[in-house]
Amino acid sequence: MPAEQQSPSPDPRFDQRLGLLLLSPTRGLGAIIERKGGAVRDVLYLVLVSAVAFRLPELVRAAVSLYRVSPAAGLTAFMGVVVDELRTAALVTLVAALVITVLAGRGRRDPSTALELGAGCYVPYFCVWSPLRLLDMEALVGYVPVVIGQVVRVLAWGWVAVLVFLSLRLVRGGGGAPSQATPARSRIAGLALLAIPAVALVLATVWSACHFETLRPLGRSDKAPDFTLPRVDGQPGGIKLADLRGRVVLLDFWATWCPPCLAMLPTLHELYREWQPRGAEFIGIDTESASRDELGAFLAQQPSPYPVVQDNGDVSSLYGAYSIPHLVVIGRDGKIAKVFVGGVSRPQLDAALAAASGGTAR
């Protein structure tokens, strides 16, 4: 039978496609051209694998936040993980695709094909970074020196550059590699690559089970942990939460670099002037976004009517303030009455303060 009449080979499995790009990148990229796609889908699979395997504790915290804190807090935490993982994959894919499109030459520029080839270039990047992410997990080393991360980043981008070069050769040549059966060793290579996040998932599951209380975010009816933090608003001394027992307290975890946080300040200042005579106290907790002098200069330009303290990260972690703005309303009994993550309206805050004080909002 003539070669042009042969039936195309079956689409290889996910693990085979990954392994082919690692062991025989020219054939792997050629197969992407021949299949007319599929690589972007594989990148989305890898993003999902990364999120679940390497960031399971954060997903557990997000899931618990759905009912212990608020649906908004849980969804915000969940989306934060997904967006972080997508950001890296999208950066590698789009940069590679742009270079392929620009350098392909006249008559050979096909943005859709370039995007698929760019997605294929993400596979070696994922391969290089996965072992480092495994070591960096709390269940193992927990911290990898910055210099090692920089070396790995150079190696990863170098491998991406090699695949971009091979992609350009294929595009300029007018087609992909011949369709051939995927060798068994490609499957082995793909499974070996996926074994790294599989090990990470097992370790993360065990670690999360053993440290569930640490992951469990503070929510309604939990006792608010005590803390003492230094004031940075031009007043001497510090603020000790225990000294405010018997009053309604609103904690505002914020930072000068956070636009939503800054947008909340006028509302909080107005609410404080209304509620402070009624037995409420507000505390602005800067999450170490600037030096003490820089923060002092900011407050000199935009004075705060309530105390502002600076956290070194310990109190933020204690209260689960992993994304800001993060507001915690504490009742007179010292227990958390309400938690808000993200932007919140004045009526919502007013109602939460009223409920915590045992009254009704005006």
pLDDT of residue 107: 72
Residue 109 and residue 24 share a domain: yes
User: How far apart are the C-alpha atoms of 139 and 122, rounded to whole Å?
Assistant: 26
Domain stop point among 215, 244, 276: 215
Q: What is the pLDDT of residues 224-283, one digit of tens each?
A: 889 988 888 778 788 899 998 889 999 999 888 888 889 999 999 999 999 999 889 999
Residue 243 and residue 142 share a domain: no
- Quick check: 347 and 333 in contact, CB under 8 A? no
Residues 6+ apart with CB under 8 A from 19: 182, 185, 186, 187, 188, 189, 190, 191, 192, 193
> Strand, helix or coil at 99?
helix
Q: Structurally, how many domains does the chain consist of?
A: 2
Residue 117 and residue 22 share a domain: yes
Residues 6+ apart with CB under 8 A from 265: 254, 302, 304
Residue 86 and residue 201 share a domain: yes
Domain stop point among 215, 245, 275: 215
Give me the CATH number covering residue 285: 3.40.30.10
Q: Which long-range contacts (CB under 8 A, 24 or more apart) does 78-84 make?
A: 80/322, 80/323, 81/51, 81/55, 82/47, 82/51, 84/55
Residue 6 pLDDT class (50, 70, 90 cuts)? very low
Residue 263 and residue 121 share a domain: no
pLDDT of residue 203: 94
Residue 12 DSSP class: P
Q: Is 362 contained in some domain? A: no
Q: Is 170 contained in some domain? A: yes
Residue 239 and residue 130 share a domain: no
- The pLDDT > 90 percentage for the chain reads 44
Residue 166 and residue 315 share a domain: no
Q: What is the mean pLDDT of residues 30-44?
A: 89
pLDDT of residue 4: 47
Q: What is the mean pLDDT of residues 40-47?
A: 95
* Conformational region of residue 194, where left means phi above 0, alpha means psi within -120 to 50, and beta covers everything else: alpha
Residue 232 and residue 202 share a domain: no
**If you average pLDDT over every residue of the chain, what do you get?**
86
- Quick check: 21 and 14 in contact, CB under 8 A? no
Which domain range does residue 198 map to?
8-215
Q: What is the pLDDT of residues 208-221, one digit of tens each?
A: 998 887 777 777 77
Residues 6+ apart with CB under 8 A from 110: 101, 104, 171
Residue 144 pLDDT class (50, 70, 90 cuts)? confident
Residue 241 and residue 170 share a domain: no
- The pLDDT > 70 percentage for the chain reads 93
